[in-house]
Structure 1
Amino acid sequence: MNTIEEQVQSDTLPHAVIQREKGISIVWVIPLVAVIIAAGLIYKTLTEKGPVVTITFKSAAGVEVGKTKIKYKDVTIGEVETVKVSPDLKNIIVTAQLAKETEGYLSEKTRFWVVR
């Protein structure tokens, strides 16, 4: 079946040598950079976040989530995050995120009020 001519031609033909490349492909550089940037942003956000306080009021007149600012001497130091009714339905519970710098000045006796 195989002639001598076919055997000679198959012996003289070059053979492909397949080698796997070692190391990380350049394609993975972009996702790796994206992960590093995301981790940096998450770290920055968490380290700059201040305390969350829960304040109880008799009424929530004028208090709006995301719009009502917590101020000290006309400087905004926080913002209202949630407004809920207490389980006994007698009070309003407001949760606010404050600036990191306020942490040292807060205690259980800190007083807040709604300015109308």
Structure 2
Amino acid sequence: MKDCQDKLSGIIGSKVLRANSTLNQFAIEFSGDQCLFLDVKTASGEASIEPSLTEAARFPNDGDAVCKVDWSWISGGELLEIKPGIDQFKLMLAPQGTITVSAGIWQGKPFLSFMPYKAPQK
């Protein structure tokens, strides 16, 4: 996990420009021309999350998302911290709060879930 945190430390303090999700991937474009991908993977029947950082030009189109999520509420947020795990990542954003991305398996297929997936009620 230390290697993962070191790799992701370069985007701490960056602002969220936009985000997109599918059942298998969460993509966040940050200021500084960077995009964070959290992809769900399976090995030996267990789900895990694999992070990667790329240039913002690789940010995905909306495509044909099965469950479209409106992530506009996190735009402009500052990434304060990332807590990586095998099957769960926590993204701390200001002022939005913490978004937890979790990996799971349903009927033998991996998926990602998000909490919260919409702006909390005030």
Would you say same fold, with TM above 0.5? no
Which of the pair has more CA radius of gyration? 1
The bucket for the TM-score relative to the shorter chain is under 0.3
TM-score normalised by L of structure 2: 0.23
Structure in which a larger fraction of residues adopt strand: 2
